[in-house]
Homo-oligomer: A and B are copies of this chain.
Amino acid sequence: MKKENESAHQPAMTKYMRIYTDTKNLILSGHYRDGDQLPEEAAVCEKYGCSRMTVKKAYDMLVADGFIYRKQGQGSFVLSSSSNRDGMELQERELQGFTRSNESTRNGQVSSKVLRFQLIFAPEDIAEILGIEKNAPLYDILRVRNVDDRPYVIEQTYMAPQTIPGITLDIVSSSIYNYIENELGLKITSSKKTMSAEPSDELAWAELGLTEKEPVLVVEQIAYLDNGTPFEYSISKHRYDLFKFSTYSLRR
């Protein structure tokens, strides 16, 4: 028996999370527009019945996410093109930070075609990345991912059975992440990604329908569980015309 909060499936939101999501929604819905000043900290304290530190935490998260900026002595303001995010999302498929790498961003039905699923002896470089012994068993998975039956990425994935046990062809054909989170109950918390461009190779010509002159966008990823274990090393080659990657970054 678990103790549940009133609201159906919400995981017992903290105060700062409530302030964060409320404010974010007000920005996204256009209630606050580009350049608008947000309520000052004191007013938000009042409204939510909390201390300044709590409001500050919520607002600081909005700063980190690129929704607002703050200036000492002046106030907190909506950052340009936060309300009309569409401007940056004209493209078909976009991946922001981590948020929904393994979901369909829009409507599309995602499916997979498994080109290879086998166990191999871990080569040294991958073993080091995943923190396992050289020559330890390693899943070697090669898939083509489709959205609405249109191929858009070739994904080479390596995972260690000692970290993620029990992977089957069924799982590989649908969603590994779903299996990890829902069946194994593990938490995926972060990832390091490196993006680059490359000429397409024969596999991309065959599977993605590209020509010699058309490139792929390569995303190399190391993904981590909440206990710090790197559980996945993957190299994805995306159709150049169907994929963009967006980030927001702050200077410190």
Binding site for B on A (CB under 8 A): 34-35, 53, 64, 66, 69, 71, 77, 79-81, 87-88, 91, 94, 97-99, 128-129, 131, 188-199, 212-218, 222, 224, 226-230, 238, 240, 243-251
Contacts and interface: CB of A to CB of B under 8 A. Distances in A.
- Work out how many copies of this chain go into the complex: 2
Given A81-B129, A198-B240, A217-B196, A190 B66 contact: yes
Contact of A230 (B80, B131, B193, B238): B80
B245 A195 contact: yes
A98 B66 CA distance: 13
A214 B240 CA distance: 13
Given A53-B53, A80-B131, A190 B249 contact: yes
A97 B79 CA distance: 18
A69 B190 contact: yes
Contact of A80 (B81, B196, B224): B224
B193 A247 contact: yes
A162 to B, nearest CB: 15
B217 A87 contact: no
Contacts of A128: 87
B69 A189 contact: yes
Given A98-B250, A247-B97, A251-B98, A216 B192 contact: no
Most chain-B Cβ atoms within 10 A of its Cβ — which of A77, A197, A245, A248?
A197
Contact of A245 (B35, B91, B194, B243): B194
A243 B197 CA distance: 8
B243 A189 contact: no
13 contacts: A69-B226, A77-B228, A80-B131, A81-B222, A189-B251, A190-B248, A190-B251, A192-B247, A193-B247, A196-B217, A196-B245, A197-B198, A197-B240
A207 B231 CA distance: 42
Nearest to A17: B252
B190 A216 contact: no
Given A87-B129, A230-B80, A249 B195 contact: no
Contact of A196 (B35, B213, B240): B240
